[in-house]
Protein backbone atom coordinates (compact mmCIF):
# COMPACT_ATOMS: atom_id res chain seq x y z
CA UNK A 1 0.00 0.00 0.00
CA UNK A 2 2.81 2.43 0.92
CA UNK A 3 4.43 1.56 -2.45
CA UNK A 4 1.26 2.53 -4.33
CA UNK A 5 1.02 5.81 -2.38
CA UNK A 6 4.72 6.53 -2.98
CA UNK A 7 4.26 5.93 -6.72
CA UNK A 8 1.08 8.03 -6.88
CA UNK A 9 2.32 11.03 -4.85
CA UNK A 10 5.86 10.95 -6.32
CA UNK A 11 4.38 10.79 -9.82
CA UNK A 12 1.90 13.61 -9.19
CA UNK A 13 4.60 15.95 -7.83
CA UNK A 14 6.56 15.34 -11.05
CA UNK A 15 3.41 16.04 -13.10
CA UNK A 16 3.19 19.49 -11.47
CA UNK A 17 6.79 20.13 -12.59
CA UNK A 18 6.05 18.91 -16.12
CA UNK A 19 2.99 21.16 -16.42
CA UNK A 20 5.03 24.15 -15.22
CA UNK A 21 7.61 23.39 -17.92
CA UNK A 22 5.15 22.79 -20.78
CA UNK A 23 2.50 25.42 -20.06
CA UNK A 24 4.63 28.41 -19.06
CA UNK A 25 7.14 30.41 -21.07
CA UNK A 26 10.39 28.91 -22.34
CA UNK A 27 12.19 30.84 -19.57
CA UNK A 28 11.15 28.20 -17.00
CA UNK A 29 14.12 25.80 -17.27
CA UNK A 30 14.70 22.60 -15.27
CA UNK A 31 17.01 24.71 -13.05
CA UNK A 32 14.09 26.99 -12.13
CA UNK A 33 11.93 23.92 -11.49
CA UNK A 34 14.53 22.46 -9.10
CA UNK A 35 14.95 25.73 -7.18
CA UNK A 36 11.17 26.30 -7.09
CA UNK A 37 10.47 22.81 -5.75
CA UNK A 38 13.09 22.98 -2.99
CA UNK A 39 11.79 26.40 -1.93
CA UNK A 40 8.15 25.26 -2.03
CA UNK A 41 8.94 22.15 0.03
CA UNK A 42 10.85 24.19 2.62
CA UNK A 43 7.98 26.71 2.96
CA UNK A 44 5.25 24.02 3.16
CA UNK A 45 7.33 22.26 5.80
CA UNK A 46 7.64 25.49 7.82
CA UNK A 47 3.84 25.64 8.08
CA UNK A 48 3.65 21.95 9.03
CA UNK A 49 1.95 21.09 5.74
CA UNK A 50 4.58 18.71 4.35
CA UNK A 51 4.97 16.21 7.22
CA UNK A 52 1.43 14.80 6.68
CA UNK A 53 2.36 14.08 3.04
CA UNK A 54 5.51 12.24 4.21
CA UNK A 55 3.41 10.15 6.60
CA UNK A 56 0.97 9.37 3.78
CA UNK A 57 3.41 8.63 0.97
CA UNK A 58 6.84 7.98 2.52
CA UNK A 59 9.49 8.15 -0.21
CA UNK A 60 6.83 9.54 -2.57
CA UNK A 61 7.13 12.81 -0.64
CA UNK A 62 10.82 12.51 0.38
CA UNK A 63 12.39 11.63 -2.99
CA UNK A 64 11.12 14.68 -4.99
CA UNK A 65 13.13 17.86 -4.33
CA UNK A 66 10.26 19.26 -2.25
CA UNK A 67 11.34 16.58 0.23
CA UNK A 68 14.87 18.02 0.24
CA UNK A 69 13.43 21.41 1.21
CA UNK A 70 11.38 19.70 3.93
CA UNK A 71 14.52 18.02 5.33
CA UNK A 72 16.39 21.39 5.45
CA UNK A 73 13.52 23.12 7.31
CA UNK A 74 12.98 20.25 9.75
CA UNK A 75 16.76 20.26 10.38
CA UNK A 76 16.55 23.94 11.35
CA UNK A 77 13.66 23.26 13.75
CA UNK A 78 15.40 20.25 15.35
CA UNK A 79 18.57 22.33 15.60
CA UNK A 80 16.74 25.06 17.54
CA UNK A 81 15.20 22.51 19.91
CA UNK A 82 18.63 21.02 20.64
CA UNK A 83 21.04 23.99 20.48
CA UNK A 84 18.97 27.18 20.35
CA UNK A 85 20.34 29.92 18.11
CA UNK A 86 23.38 27.87 17.00
CA UNK A 87 20.96 25.22 15.73
CA UNK A 88 19.42 27.75 13.33
CA UNK A 89 22.77 27.79 11.54
CA UNK A 90 23.88 24.17 11.98
CA UNK A 91 20.54 22.36 11.71
CA UNK A 92 19.66 22.66 7.99
CA UNK A 93 22.93 21.31 6.59
CA UNK A 94 23.29 18.73 9.38
CA UNK A 95 20.04 17.16 8.24
CA UNK A 96 21.02 17.29 4.56
CA UNK A 97 24.73 16.47 5.07
CA UNK A 98 24.67 12.91 3.71
CA UNK A 99 22.83 13.84 0.53
CA UNK A 100 24.89 16.96 -0.16
CA UNK A 101 28.20 15.16 0.42
CA UNK A 102 27.11 12.21 -1.72
CA UNK A 103 26.14 14.58 -4.54
CA UNK A 104 29.48 16.44 -4.36
CA UNK A 105 31.70 13.33 -4.11
CA UNK A 106 29.89 11.11 -6.65
CA UNK A 107 29.32 14.14 -8.88
CA UNK A 108 33.04 14.95 -8.88
CA UNK A 109 34.19 11.35 -9.49
CA UNK A 110 31.75 10.62 -12.31
CA UNK A 111 32.39 14.00 -13.95
CA UNK A 112 36.12 13.12 -14.02
CA UNK A 113 35.68 9.47 -15.04
CA UNK A 114 33.29 9.87 -17.96
CA UNK A 115 33.56 11.84 -21.18
CA UNK A 116 30.46 13.69 -22.38
CA UNK A 117 28.68 12.06 -25.34
CA UNK A 118 28.69 13.90 -28.67
CA UNK B 1 -1.81 31.58 -46.38
CA UNK B 2 1.87 32.23 -45.87
CA UNK B 3 3.31 35.67 -46.56
CA UNK B 4 1.66 38.08 -49.02
CA UNK B 5 4.54 40.15 -50.41
CA UNK B 6 2.20 42.80 -51.84
CA UNK B 7 1.24 43.84 -48.26
CA UNK B 8 3.22 46.38 -46.14
CA UNK B 9 6.23 45.08 -44.21
CA UNK B 10 4.45 45.12 -40.82
CA UNK B 11 1.69 42.84 -42.09
CA UNK B 12 4.22 40.60 -43.84
CA UNK B 13 6.05 40.28 -40.53
CA UNK B 14 2.84 39.34 -38.70
CA UNK B 15 1.94 36.77 -41.38
CA UNK B 16 5.42 35.29 -41.14
CA UNK B 17 5.15 34.97 -37.33
CA UNK B 18 1.76 33.24 -37.65
CA UNK B 19 3.22 30.87 -40.23
CA UNK B 20 6.19 30.00 -37.98
CA UNK B 21 3.88 29.48 -34.98
CA UNK B 22 1.69 27.13 -37.04
CA UNK B 23 4.50 24.88 -38.28
CA UNK B 24 6.61 24.84 -35.06
CA UNK B 25 6.24 21.58 -33.13
CA UNK B 26 4.10 22.05 -30.00
CA UNK B 27 5.05 20.12 -26.84
CA UNK B 28 2.62 17.22 -26.56
CA UNK B 29 1.56 18.04 -23.01
CA UNK B 30 -0.53 14.91 -22.40
CA UNK B 31 2.22 12.50 -23.51
CA UNK B 32 4.83 14.44 -21.48
CA UNK B 33 2.63 14.38 -18.37
CA UNK B 34 2.04 10.62 -18.60
CA UNK B 35 5.79 9.97 -18.98
CA UNK B 36 6.60 12.32 -16.08
CA UNK B 37 4.02 10.55 -13.88
CA UNK B 38 5.22 7.03 -14.71
CA UNK B 39 8.96 7.71 -14.40
CA UNK B 40 8.64 10.05 -11.39
CA UNK B 41 6.35 7.56 -9.68
CA UNK B 42 8.74 4.69 -10.42
CA UNK B 43 11.72 6.57 -8.96
CA UNK B 44 9.66 7.31 -5.82
CA UNK B 45 8.62 3.62 -5.60
CA UNK B 46 12.29 2.54 -5.90
CA UNK B 47 13.05 5.07 -3.14
CA UNK B 48 10.29 3.51 -1.03
CA UNK B 49 11.72 0.00 -1.60
CA UNK B 50 15.14 1.26 -0.42
CA UNK B 51 13.54 3.04 2.57
CA UNK B 52 11.68 -0.12 3.62
CA UNK B 53 14.91 -2.13 3.22
CA UNK B 54 17.00 0.26 5.36
CA UNK B 55 14.27 0.36 8.04
CA UNK B 56 14.25 -3.46 8.09
CA UNK B 57 18.03 -3.38 8.56
CA UNK B 58 17.37 -1.40 11.73
CA UNK B 59 18.26 2.17 10.70
CA UNK B 60 16.24 4.94 12.42
CA UNK B 61 13.87 6.79 10.05
CA UNK B 62 16.04 9.89 9.51
CA UNK B 63 19.19 7.86 8.77
CA UNK B 64 17.21 5.52 6.50
CA UNK B 65 15.89 8.52 4.54
CA UNK B 66 19.41 9.94 4.18
CA UNK B 67 20.70 6.58 2.89
CA UNK B 68 17.91 6.49 0.28
CA UNK B 69 19.08 9.90 -0.97
CA UNK B 70 22.71 8.71 -1.08
CA UNK B 71 21.84 5.60 -3.13
CA UNK B 72 19.57 7.44 -5.58
CA UNK B 73 22.20 10.18 -6.03
CA UNK B 74 24.86 7.53 -6.75
CA UNK B 75 22.67 5.83 -9.37
CA UNK B 76 21.70 9.12 -11.04
CA UNK B 77 25.31 10.41 -11.12
CA UNK B 78 26.50 7.10 -12.63
CA UNK B 79 23.75 7.01 -15.27
CA UNK B 80 24.51 10.65 -16.16
CA UNK B 81 28.17 9.73 -16.70
CA UNK B 82 27.14 6.86 -19.00
CA UNK B 83 24.80 9.20 -20.93
CA UNK B 84 21.80 6.99 -20.06
CA UNK B 85 20.16 9.63 -17.84
CA UNK B 86 19.79 11.98 -20.83
CA UNK B 87 18.06 9.22 -22.81
CA UNK B 88 15.56 8.68 -19.96
CA UNK B 89 15.06 12.42 -19.35
CA UNK B 90 14.27 13.04 -23.03
CA UNK B 91 10.98 11.20 -22.47
CA UNK B 92 10.52 11.57 -18.71
CA UNK B 93 11.15 15.34 -18.49
CA UNK B 94 10.20 16.50 -15.01
CA UNK B 95 9.74 12.84 -14.01
CA UNK B 96 13.55 12.57 -14.02
CA UNK B 97 14.40 16.17 -12.97
CA UNK B 98 12.08 16.72 -10.00
CA UNK B 99 13.23 13.74 -7.88
CA UNK B 100 16.62 13.99 -6.10
CA UNK B 101 18.00 12.22 -9.21
CA UNK B 102 17.64 15.55 -11.09
CA UNK B 103 19.83 17.29 -8.51
CA UNK B 104 22.61 14.71 -9.03
CA UNK B 105 22.19 14.83 -12.81
CA UNK B 106 22.46 18.61 -12.89
CA UNK B 107 25.76 18.46 -10.99
CA UNK B 108 27.45 15.76 -13.09
CA UNK B 109 26.15 16.99 -16.47
CA UNK B 110 27.39 20.55 -15.94
CA UNK B 111 30.75 19.45 -14.49
CA UNK B 112 31.42 16.86 -17.23
CA UNK B 113 31.01 19.50 -19.95
CA UNK B 114 33.51 21.76 -18.15
CA UNK B 115 36.48 19.36 -17.92
CA UNK B 116 38.44 21.26 -20.58
CA UNK B 117 38.23 24.36 -18.36
CA UNK B 118 40.27 22.63 -15.66
CA UNK B 119 39.57 20.90 -12.36
CA UNK B 120 39.10 24.02 -10.23
CA UNK B 121 37.15 26.57 -12.25
CA UNK B 122 35.84 23.91 -14.63
CA UNK B 123 34.67 20.79 -12.78
CA UNK B 124 34.82 22.21 -9.25
CA UNK B 125 32.85 25.34 -10.02
CA UNK B 126 30.37 23.94 -12.52
CA UNK B 127 29.23 21.17 -10.15
CA UNK B 128 27.33 24.02 -8.50
CA UNK B 129 25.88 25.84 -11.52
CA UNK B 130 22.43 24.45 -10.68
CA UNK B 131 23.09 22.78 -7.32
CA UNK B 132 24.32 26.13 -5.92
CA UNK B 133 21.04 28.02 -6.41
CA UNK B 134 19.10 24.98 -5.09
CA UNK B 135 21.17 24.98 -1.89
CA UNK B 136 21.02 28.79 -1.53
CA UNK B 137 17.22 29.01 -1.73
CA UNK B 138 16.62 25.87 0.35
CA UNK B 139 19.02 26.92 3.12
CA UNK B 140 17.78 30.55 3.23
CA UNK B 141 14.17 29.42 3.70
CA UNK B 142 15.18 26.80 6.30
CA UNK B 143 17.33 29.36 8.17
CA UNK B 144 14.49 31.92 8.25
CA UNK B 145 12.10 29.24 9.51
CA UNK B 146 14.58 28.24 12.20
CA UNK B 147 15.08 31.86 13.27
CA UNK B 148 11.33 32.53 13.52
CA UNK B 149 10.89 29.28 15.45
CA UNK B 150 13.74 30.28 17.81
CA UNK B 151 12.23 33.74 18.45
CA UNK B 152 8.58 32.74 18.88
CA UNK B 153 8.50 29.16 20.13
Phi, psi of A58 (to 5 degrees): 55, -120
Rounded CA separation A105/A100 (Å): 9
**Cα nearest neighbour of B137 on chain A:** A39
Q: What is the pTM of this model?
A: 0.89
**Over residues B115-136, mean pLDDT:** 95
pLDDT of residue A24: 84
CB-based contact B137 A100, cutoff 8 Å: no
Query: What is the domain partition of chain B in residue ranges?
Result: 28-152
Query: What is the domain partition of chain A in residue ranges?
Result: 2-113
Contact list in B for residue A46 (CB cut-off 8 A) is 141, 145, 148
Cα B119 to the chain's mean position, in Å?
Answer: 24
Report pLDDT digits (tens) over B20-52.
777 766 668 999 999 999 999 999 999 999 999
Q: At what angle do helices B29-56 and A2-23 cross, to 10 degrees?
A: 140
**Over residues B44-69, mean pLDDT:** 96
CB-based contact B45 A13, cutoff 8 Å: no
Does residue B2 carry a pLDDT above 80?
no
Contacts 24+ apart (CB under 8 A), B33-36: B33/A15, B33/A18, B33/A19, B33/A22, B35/A18, B35/B91, B35/B92, B35/B93, B35/B95, B36/A11, B36/A14, B36/A15, B36/A17, B36/A18, B36/B92, B36/B93, B36/B94, B36/B95, B36/B98
Query: Which of B 31-70 lie inside 8 A of A, CB atoms?
Result: 32-33, 35-45, 47-52, 62, 65-70
Can you give the length of chain A in residues? 118
When CB atoms are compared, the residue of B29, B37, B145 closest to A22 is B29
Cα torsion B113, B119, B125, B130: sign: positive
Low-confidence winner among B18-32, B79-93, B125-139 (lowest mean pLDDT):
B18-32
Rounded CA separation A88/B152 (Å): 13
**Cα nearest neighbour of B103 on chain A:** A34
Contact list in A for residue B150 (CB cut-off 8 A) is 80, 84-85, 87-88
pLDDT of residue A68: 97
When CB atoms are compared, the residue of A7, A88, A97 closest to B44 is A7
CB-based contact B146 A79, cutoff 8 Å: yes
Contact list in A for residue B125 (CB cut-off 8 A) is none
When CB atoms are compared, the residue of A73, A111, A117 closest to B142 is A73
Q: Which ipTM value was assigned to this complex?
A: 0.95
Per-residue pLDDT of chain A (118 residues; tens, 9 = 90+): 899 999 999 999 999 999 999 888 777 888 999 999 999 999 999 999 999 999 999 999 999 999 999 999 999 999 999 999 999 999 999 999 999 999 999 999 999 999 887 6
When CB atoms are compared, the residue of A42, A98, A103 closest to B103 is A103
Amino acid sequence: MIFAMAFLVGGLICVVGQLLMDLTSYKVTPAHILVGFVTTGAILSAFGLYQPLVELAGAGALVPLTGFGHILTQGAIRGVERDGLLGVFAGPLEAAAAGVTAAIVFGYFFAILFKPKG
Amino acid sequence: MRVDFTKPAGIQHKQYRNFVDRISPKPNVLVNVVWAFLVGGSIAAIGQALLTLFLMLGLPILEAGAMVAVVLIFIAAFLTGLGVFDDIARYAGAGAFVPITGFANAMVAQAMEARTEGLVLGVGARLFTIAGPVLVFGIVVAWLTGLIYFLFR
